[in-house]
Amino acid sequence: MHEIVVLGAGYAGLTAAVSLAARTRRGQDVRITVVNAGERFTERLRLHQVASGQRLADLRIPELLEGTGVELVCGWVTGIDAAAQTVRVDDERVLAYDTLVYALGAVTDTAAVPGVDHHAHTLDSAGGAELLARRLGELGTGTVAVCGSGLTGVEAAAEIAEQHPELDVVLLGRSEPGHMLGSNAKAHLDAALERLRVRVRSGVEIVKVLPDSVHLAGGESVAAELVLWTSGVRVSPLAAAAGLEVDERGRIVTDAALRSVSHPQVYAIGDAAAIRQGYGILHGTCQSGIPTGVHAAASIVRELNGKRPKAFRFGYIHIPVSLGRRDAVVQFTRPDNSPRRWCLTGRSAAWYKETVSSAFWPSLRWMRTMPSSGSFAWRRGGRYTR
């Protein structure tokens, strides 16, 4: 029995597990185990909606895995012994593996700036987003500081401002919101934030967060009744502690097939992997993470069949950004994620973004029934082809 253990049931990990189950249900003597903190799937793409008070579908991992033969183990991974090829869960259970799929993802970096850990909310979990929603509902009036002007910060600021027009929302960050977009897309984003009365402060460095304010470099402070931190990410230290080769950010360094360069029986996918393409290292998004899960599954099956895994190739296609429930911008991109000349804006873009956000769960249900021959692969541009 070849033991495959998948750590993490986020977008990349679940994709790998379901794809593996579909590809190995005939002919391979394989057992697949998924380790995750709980049974509920976290739609990270929608946590800004949860934070603003909206209710989402309760997606349950056991329901998705029913009939696939995949076993779900609920618990926290507390250690990996790469030499013995074992994983420790909750310091009580030990799981042996022949192949490990490392998909533990990343969380918001709350350690880089003093006070963030104690005084700021994050969008790392459904529970955290629901807590933020309760606090927003209790405020009545006041200022909400969203720290981080990347896409997560933009979406959160817009969503909160739309759902809570009585609140003053200020978006703080080093860079201008939407700086990676083309000129037309950025102009639409800027206009949407202005329409929603989101105050934008770019070019600022946050040096401390207190219970009632955010302190900036140079001595200025911004008063805030509530702080949401969306700036920067960090990965689990488990891979480095296990002796796997990692980069300066703690991500597992992979070869072209997504295997650890130091421990080839370990596949690293999603945000926890430093995956190099011709244009640089992939940055953590669902758009790139889901294909890594599919590719890892296909590569593992190739190895089980005595074949060499193929190199992973990926090109970005878009940057979709929601701006509340009725507005959005979708910047179409070249494979290296640089903006093309055309984009979608307004209601059509909102429909596009919603279609993308809601497609993951149905696609996994479809994947459970795909041919087990392994003839499907994720190709550049994000499409399945034979």
Average pLDDT over residues 80-96: 96
Q: Please indicate, yes or no, if residue 322 is contained in any of the structural domains.
A: no
Residues 277 and 148 in one domain: no
Structural domains of the chain, count: 2
Q: Could you give the CA distance from residue 247 to residue 262 in angstroms, rounded to a whole number?
A: 12
- Assign 386 a pLDDT band (cuts: 50, 70, 90): very low
**Which pLDDT score is estimated for 53?**
92
Does 380 have pLDDT greater than 70? Answer: no
Residues 149 and 29 in one domain: no
Order the strands of the 142-147 sheet from edge to edge.
199-202, 167-173, 142-147, 226-229
Q: What is the chain's mean pLDDT, rounded?
A: 94
Q: Please indicate, yes or no, if residue 121 is contained in any of the structural domains.
A: yes
Predicted confidence (pLDDT) per residue in 215-230, tens digit: 999 999 999 999 999 9
Q: Of the given ranges (24-33, 72-81, 374-383), which has the lowest mean pLDDT?
A: 374-383
Q: Could you tell me the residue range of the domain that residue 206 belongs to?
A: 116-175+188-229
**Main-chain phi, psi angles of 295, to 5 degrees:** -65, -40
Residues 124 and 81 in one domain: no
Residues 271 and 380 in one domain: yes
**Which pLDDT score is estimated for 371?**
59
State the Cα angle at 51 between 90 and 176, rounded to 5°: 105
Q: What is the dihedral of CA 227, 126, 19, 21, to 10 degrees?
A: 150
Predicted confidence (pLDDT) per residue in 230-267, tens digit: 999 999 999 999 999 999 999 999 999 999 999 999 99
Q: Could you give the CA distance from residue 245 to residue 255 in angstroms, rounded to a whole number?
A: 11
Q: Could you give the CA distance from residue 63 to residue 66 in angstroms, rounded to a whole number?
A: 5
Q: Please indicate, yes or no, if residue 11 is contained in any of the structural domains.
A: yes
Place of tokens 């009585």: 166
**Which pLDDT score is estimated for 284?**
82
Residue 218, SS3 per DSSP: coil
Residue 352, SS3 per DSSP: helix
Q: Please indicate, yes or no, if residue 90 is contained in any of the structural domains.
A: yes
Residues 261 and 371 in one domain: yes
Q: Could you give the CA distance from residue 340 to residue 325 in angstroms, rounded to a whole number?
A: 25
Residues 139 and 96 in one domain: no
Strand partners, 246: 252
Q: Please indicate, yes or no, if residue 163 is contained in any of the structural domains.
A: yes
- Which residues are CB-contacts of 235 (< 8 A; sequence separation ≥ 6)? 104, 105, 106, 107, 249, 250, 251, 271, 272
**Which pLDDT score is estimated for 372?**
55
Average pLDDT over residues 186-190: 98
**Which pLDDT score is estimated for 131?**
97
Strand partners, 60: 40
**Which pLDDT score is estimated for 378?**
43
**Which pLDDT score is estimated for 369?**
77
Residues 62 and 167 in one domain: no
Nearest to 228 by CA among 325, 162, 158: 158
Q: Please indicate, yes or no, if residue 346 is contained in any of the structural domains.
A: no
Average pLDDT over residues 179-205: 98
pLDDT > 70 in the chain, percent: 95
Q: Please indicate, yes or no, if residue 51 is contained in any of the structural domains.
A: yes
Does 315 have pLDDT greater than 80? Answer: yes
- Residue 270 per-residue DSSP state: G
Place of tokens 């392994």: 374
Question: Which CATH number belongs to the domain containing residue 280 in this structure?
Answer: 3.50.50.60
Q: Please indicate, yes or no, if residue 48 is contained in any of the structural domains.
A: yes
Residues 101 and 160 in one domain: no
Q: Of the given ranges (171-175, 268-272, 374-378), which has the lowest mean pLDDT?
A: 374-378
